[in-house]
Chains A and B, each alone.
Chain A
Amino acid sequence: MSTVLISDPTLRDGSHAVRHRLTKEQMHSYMLIAEAAGIPIIEVGHGNGLGASSLQLGESLVPDEEIFKLASETLHHTKVGIHVIPGVATINDLKAALDLGVHVVRVASHCTEADITERHIAYALDRQREAYGVLMMSHMASVELLTQEALKMQSYGAQGVVIMDSAGVYLPNDVTERIEALTAALNIPVGFHAHNNLGLAIANSVAALRAGATILDATIRGFGAGAGNTQLEVLVAVLNKMGYTTHIDLPKLLEGANLAEQSIIGKVPTINSTSVVSGLAGVFSGFAKPVEQLSKKYNVDPHKVFMELGRRKVIAGQEDIIIEVVHEIAESEAERVDKIC
C-alpha cells in the first residue's frame, strides 16, 4: 500500500481567508486537533509565509515568533512547517524561526524563479531541517520550464518539490501532465497543492497521486485563500477508499473538522462567482480578500479587477497592483459617466 505524506497548511493558507487575523487561541485549538488526528505536518504563519506581515500582504494579528513558540510547545508528534519566500523573508528571519523549533522549511518562489531559493534551502539543510522547494503559480510556466526549475531546486538539495496551483486554474489533465514530467525528471518526491476555484481540488489531488506525486497539501474544511484548498477530511476519506495510507485517524479528523469549523473557520470557503472568475483569469487566490475589499470601497466590479490582474500577469506578492488597478477602473468609469451626462 502506498503512503501519501499529508502537509496541512490550515493555519497558513487559512490565514488568507481571515486576512491573517487568527488568534492564538484559535491556532492552539487547531494544533490540538492536528496532533490528536495524527496529521504529520502543519504549516503555520502568515498566508504569504515567514516575515510576510506587512501593509502590502496584510498584517498578522500574532507575530511569527509567538506562533512558532506556541506550536513547538503544543505539538509533539506533528511537525511544524513554514512557507518561506526569498525577497520577503531573509535568512535572518529563517534563523529566528528555526531557533524556535520549526522543523519543516518549504522555500517557495514564483514558478520561474527557483534560483532565488538556493541560499534559503542551503541554510535550512545546514541546520539539519527538512527542506522542500515550492513552485508557486505553477500554471504560469510551460511544463518544460517548470521541470527545469524543479531540477534547480533538486540541485540545491531540496528533499522534495511541491507545485502549487495557486490560482485554482488546473483541470485534472493539466496536473497529470505536469506531475508526470516532474516525477520522470526528478529523483526526489513530488507534491501538489490545490485551490478549489473550479471545484477540482480533490480531483486534481487524486490526478497528482496517480501521476506519481507522494506529497499532498490539504486544509480542514478547505480553509484557505479564495475558494479554499483541498478539503483535508474529504481527501483523507478518498485516499482511504483508494487504498492509500496517510497515518491520519479519519474519525478523529472528522470530529476535529466539526470543532475547527466552530472554533477557527467562521465562514467555510465556498466557490462564489468571483472565485470562478479569479480561477479562469489565473490570478493568485490570496488576492480574493483585498480585491473584495477595494472593489467594494471604490464601487467597481471585482470581476473586472480580476480580469485586468490576469491580463497583466501579476504574480503572488504584487498585491499593490490591486490598488492601482482598482483606481484605474474607478477613474475610467468616472470618465465614462462624465461623458454620458
Chain B
Amino acid sequence: MNGKIKVAIIGSGNIGTDLLKKTVRSPILECTLFVGRNLESPGMKIARELGVHVSDKKIDAMIDNAHMYDIVFDATSASDHARHAEIFKRLGKFVIDMTPSKIGEMCVPAVNLSECLVLDNVNMVTCGGQASLPVAYAIGQTHQRVEYIEVVSSIASKSAGPATRSNLDEYIETTEEAIRKFSRCLRAKAIINLNPAEPCIDMQTTIYAKVQEPDLEALTKTLNRTITNMQSYVPGYQLVLPPTIEDGRIVVMVKVQGLGDYLPKYAGNLDIINCAAIAAAEEYAYKTAGIEKGA
C-alpha cells in the first residue's frame, strides 16, 4: 500500500495515454489498469513500459477487474460512454467522462469542483469550455445581468484529430450550454477555428460579453483569483488581454500552452481538458483518503 488511490483508464488513444502520463506524476493517483481495443497501440506500449496492467477487452476488462480501481477516466466516445455509464454506476465507481456524452454534471475545477465530488459521474465539457468557462463564470459573478457571452477558440490543426473534426457541432452545442449554465447569461455562442500555421499556434480563446453595466475593476479582481486557481492545475494557462471594453463589450483573451506530456506542447486544447480531469480525480482521491491536500 502506497496510500495512493487507484484509477483505471478506458480508451487508449491520445487522451487516455496523456492522462496515464499525468497520473504517474500525481502524488495521490496510481493508474492500475489501462484498457483499450488494441494491445499494439502506442498507448498500450507506454502503459506496459510503466508496468501498468493492460487489457484489450474493452468494457469487459473494467467489469472483470472492478476490484482494481476506484476512479475511472472514460476516454472512449460519447456513444460508448452512454453504455459504460450504467455499468460504472452499478460498480460504484467515480467516473470522469472525457467524451461529449453530456451524461454527468459538467465540471470545471476552478469553478465547481467541490459540488462535483459528491456525484458519481462528472463530465469535462470541451477544451474551449475548460478555457473559457472560468472567465464566463467570473463575468457572471461580477455582473447583475449578462445578456450574451460568446467564446471563440482557435486551435492548431494538428491538435484536432478525426473525432474532433467530425464533432464540431457537438463541440459548439456543448460549449454553449455550459456557458449559459456557468455564467447564467441569456444567450451564448461558440465558434471554433482550426489554424494550420507552422510552427503550430497555441490554443487561444477570446471571450466577449454584453452586460448592462460593465464593472472591469470587479471583474479583473475576480478573474485574477480565478486565473491563479486555474494555473495551479493548468500551468500553461495565461491571460493575453485582460478585461477590456471594445465597442461597448467586454473582451478577455487567454492562451493555453500544453505541458507536453504525451501530446505536443501546442496541443493546449487537449492538455487543458486532461489537466482538469486530473485535478478532479486528485481532489476526489484526497477526499476519499481523508487527507488534506498537500499534507
Contact A118 B166 (CB under 8 A): yes
Is A313's CB under 8 angstroms from B173's CB? no
Tell me, in angstroms, the Cα distance from A92 to B162 when the chains sit together. 21
Q: How far is the CA of A321 from the CA of B251 in the complex (A)?
A: 12
Which residues of the partner chain A approach B249 to less than 8 Å between Cβ atoms? 55
Q: Give residues of chain B (232-259) contacting chain A, Cβ–Cβ below 8 Å.
A: 240-241, 244, 246, 249, 251, 253
Partner of A320, one of B192, B194, B253: B253
* Contact of A88 (CB < 8 Å), options: B165, B191, B197: B191
User: Would A54 and B189 be within 8 Å (CB), given that A119-B169, A324-B241 are in contact?
Assistant: yes
Answer whether residue A10 sits at the interface, using C-beta atoms and an 8 A cutoff: no
Contact of A327 among B154, B157, B189, B241 (CB under 8 A): B241
Q: CB within 8 A of A312: which of B166, B191, B197, B208? A: B197
**Complex contact A56–B165 (CB within 8 A):** no
Indicate if A166 sits at the interface (CB-CB under 8 A).
Answer: no
For A87, give its contact among B192, B241, B251 (CB under 8 Å). B192
Is the beta-carbon distance between A313 and B241 smaller than 8 angstroms? no
Q: How far is the CA of A91 from the CA of B148 in the complex (A)?
A: 22
B152 interface residue, CB < 8 Å from A? yes
Q: Are A323 and B246 in contact (CB under 8 A)?
A: yes
B52 contacts the other chain (CB 8 A)? no
Q: Write the B163-206 contact mask toward A (1 if CB under 8 angstroms, else 0).
A: 00110110011000000000000000101111111000000101
* B210 interface residue (CB < 8 Å to A): yes
Residue of A nearest to B173 (CB): A90
B120 at interface by CB-CB < 8 Å: no
Q: From A88, which residue of chain B is reached at the shortest CB distance?
A: B191
Q: Which residues on the B side are within 8 Å of A312 (C-beta)? A: 197
The chain A residue sitting closest to B152, CB to CB, is: A56
Q: Find out whether the CB atom of A113 lies under 8 angstroms from the CB atom of B194.
A: yes
Of A91, A92, A119, A315, most buried by chain B (CB within 10 Å of CB) is: A315
In the complex with contacts A323-B246, A324-B241, A56-B208 CB distance below 8 A: yes
Counting residue pairs across A and B whose Cβ atoms lie within 8 Å, the total is: 87
Q: Is the CB of B206 within 8 A of A87?
A: no
- CB–CB B152/A320 < 8 A: yes
Interface size class of A (residues with CB under 8 A): 20 to 34
Q: Is there contact, CB below 8 Å, between A90 and B172? A: yes
Q: Tally chain B residues at the interface, Cβ within 8 Å.
A: 31
- The reply to whether A315 and B193 contact each other, CB–CB distance below 8 Å, is yes
Q: Is the CB of A113 within 8 A of B150?
A: no
Residues on the B chain within 8 Å of A87, using CB: 168, 172, 191-194
Q: Which residue of chain A has the shortest Cβ distance to B172 in the bound complex? A: A90
Q: Which of A90, A118, A313 contacts B197 (CB 8 A)?
A: A313
A110 within 8 A of B: yes
- A92 close to B169 (CB less than 8 A): yes
Does A86 touch B at the CB level, under 8 Å?
A: yes
* B206 / chain A contacts, CB cutoff of 8 Å: 56, 320, 323
Of B154, B162, B169, B195, which one neighbours A115 at CB under 8 angstroms? B162
The answer to whether A315 touches B195, judged by C-beta atoms less than 8 angstroms apart, is yes
Please report the C-alpha to C-alpha distance between residue A324 and residue B206 in the assembled complex, in whole angstroms. 10
Would B166 and A119 count as touching, CB distance under 8 A? yes
The reply to whether the CB of A112 lies closer than 8 angstroms to some CB of chain B is yes
Which of B191, B196, B240 contacts A110 (CB under 8 A)?
A: B196
Contact A112 B169 (CB under 8 A): no
Chain B residues near A263: list those with CB within 8 A: none
| Contact, CB under 8 Å: A116 / B150 | no
Contacts A324-B241, A327-B241 hold; do A110 and B195 have CB atoms under 8 A apart?
yes
What residues on A are CB-neighbors of B204 within 8 Å? 320-321
User: CA of A113 to CA of B157 in the docked complex: distance in angstroms?
Assistant: 8
Chain B residues, CB < 8 A from A324: 240-241, 253
Residues of chain B within 8 A (CB-CB) of A323 are 206, 241, 244, 246, 251, 253
Distance (Å) between the CB of A89 and the closest chain B CB?
A: 9
B197 to A, closest residue via Cβ: A313
In addition to A110-B194, A320-B206, 15 A-B residue pairs with Cβ atoms within 8 Å of each other are A54-B152, A86-B168, A87-B193, A90-B168, A92-B173, A110-B196, A116-B168, A312-B197, A314-B195, A315-B193, A315-B196, A317-B152, A318-B193, A324-B240, A327-B244
B residues with a Cβ closer than 8 A to A are 148, 150, 152, 154, 157, 162, 165-166, 168-169, 172-173, 189, 191-197, 204, 206, 208, 210, 240-241, 244, 246, 249, 251, 253
Q: What are 7 A-B residue pairs whose CB atoms fall within 8 Å in the complex?
A: A87-B168, A87-B172, A88-B191, A92-B173, A112-B196, A313-B195, A324-B240
What 9 A-B pairs come out closest when comparing CB atoms? A313-B197, A320-B206, A55-B208, A90-B169, A112-B196, A317-B193, A87-B192, A56-B152, A113-B194
